[in-house]
Copies of this chain bind each other. A is one copy, B any other.
Amino acid sequence: MTEVLAVDVGGTRIKASVLDRSGAAVRQLDLPTGTADGPASVVAAVRSVARELAGPGIAAAGVVVPGAVDVRTGTARYSANLGWRDVPLRDLLAGDLGVPVAIEHDVRAAGLAERTLGCARDVTDCLMVVIGTGIAGDITAAGSAVRGATELAGELGHMPVHPDGEPCACGQRGCLETYSSAAAIARRYRALGGGALDAREVAAAPTTDRVARQVWAQATDALGIALATCTMLLDPAAVVLGGGLAEAGETLLGPVRAALAGRLTWRDSPALSVSALGARAGQLGAGILAWQAIGRPAFDAWPAGRLATGR
């Protein structure tokens, strides 16, 4: 019993791995989520992937999903992207696999992984911001997750950073997501006359590309405003940026750090870094929760120097 199953259910792909005690993937599957066929088929796909991958060596499983999650009852409450509502995912999978199962919100799991294995180890007051198609955060205060009264804390993407700003898909104006998500950066670049570049390409565009410069500056400035607000409210010791956009590394960190510092007068900025675990953070968080579900230390053979060698 030296392996756990870790499943990361995303809006487009289900990424599942059997992980050993060092966090390495012994075997893995990566399949389409299949949202086009409705929520029942998403649930069926998750169960099928889990059954297919799990073997007799599996001690427990962790599953992380987007949207709202009730960890107490093990229920995936709802997700706009997946279309599901009140799915008793923990019990379904525990029945299928015959081992303890934990479920969690994907961004909270990514934050847990960064605090356990990544670049915010042992930081008790921490904010992780995952920037991909949307933007969401995981808030830890005094070592405990801030979940909120209805498990909806951490919705950084819909903070009104520019109250009279551009319309957001949510119906409001000026949400952080409207300026700074990977999807928004690509969309705004096109809308302002640029071509069909994705967010990383906009970030890497030559300095002669005036539109790219403008869109990237507005994206990083909006992140700076949002993080200044989070700093005032939460006073974190560390802020970790994750998700696809964080792969831009210093190209992202530099201007966000400057924008944040420029918005703070009478106090220092929290330490700002990009995720050490990258796209694996959510899945590693699922693995940590699986170990926790059986009262075992999480990935106790994790190589001490792994982070020094990059992602």
Point out residues on A near B: beta carbons under 8 Å: 124-125, 137, 139, 141-142, 144, 146-156, 158-163, 170-172, 225, 228-230, 232-237, 263-267, 270
How distant is A259 from chain B, measured CB to nearest CB, in Å? 10
CB-nearest residue of chain B to A80: B266
Cβ–Cβ contact A153 & B233, under 8 A: yes
Cβ–Cβ contact A149 & B237, under 8 A: yes
Residue from the list B144, B149, B228 in contact with A235, Cβ < 8 A: B149
Cβ–Cβ contact B170 & A265, under 8 A: yes
With A151-B235, A159-B228 given, can you name 13 additional A-B contacts, CB distance below 8 Å?
A124-B149, A139-B234, A141-B153, A142-B144, A142-B147, A148-B234, A152-B267, A155-B232, A159-B232, A160-B229, A160-B263, A161-B163, A163-B263
Complex contacts, A233 vs chain B, CB 8 Å: 137, 139, 153-156, 159, 229-230, 233-234
The docked-state distance in angstroms from the alpha carbon of A230 to that of B233 is 8
Complex contacts, A141 vs chain B, CB 8 Å: 141, 144, 146-148, 153
Complex contacts, A137 vs chain B, CB 8 Å: 233
The docked-state distance in angstroms from the alpha carbon of A263 to that of B237 is 29
How distant is A111 from chain B, measured CB to nearest CB, in Å? 14
Once A125-B148, A141-B153, A148-B141 are accepted as A-B contacts, the answer to whether A265 and B234 lie under 8 Å apart by CB is: no
The docked-state distance in angstroms from the alpha carbon of A141 to that of B138 is 13
Cβ–Cβ contact B270 & A149, under 8 A: yes
CB-nearest residue of chain B to A235: B148
How distant is A108 from chain B, measured CB to nearest CB, in Å? 13
The docked-state distance in angstroms from the alpha carbon of A292 to that of B5 is 45
Cβ–Cβ contact B172 & A265, under 8 A: yes
The docked-state distance in angstroms from the alpha carbon of A152 to that of B264 is 13
For the complex of A and B, the 8 pairs showing the least CB-CB separation, nearest first, are: A148-B235, A149-B237, A171-B265, A125-B149, A153-B235, A152-B235, A155-B232, A141-B146
CB-nearest residue of chain B to A126: B149
Once A229-B229, A232-B158, A234-B153 are accepted as A-B contacts, the answer to whether A144 and B144 lie under 8 Å apart by CB is: yes
Q: List 6 A-B contacts (CB under 8 A).
A: A125-B149, A139-B234, A147-B235, A155-B233, A163-B225, A233-B234
Cβ–Cβ contact A236 & B149, under 8 A: yes
Cβ–Cβ contact A170 & B266, under 8 A: yes
Complex contacts, A151 vs chain B, CB 8 Å: 235
Cβ–Cβ contact B171 & A266, under 8 A: yes
How distant is A262 from chain B, measured CB to nearest CB, in Å? 9
How distant is A261 from chain B, measured CB to nearest CB, in Å? 12
Complex contacts, A265 vs chain B, CB 8 Å: 170-172
Once A141-B153, A162-B163, A263-B160 are accepted as A-B contacts, the answer to whether A146 and B232 lie under 8 Å apart by CB is: no
How distant is A214 from chain B, measured CB to nearest CB, in Å? 16
How distant is A170 from chain B, measured CB to nearest CB, in Å? 5
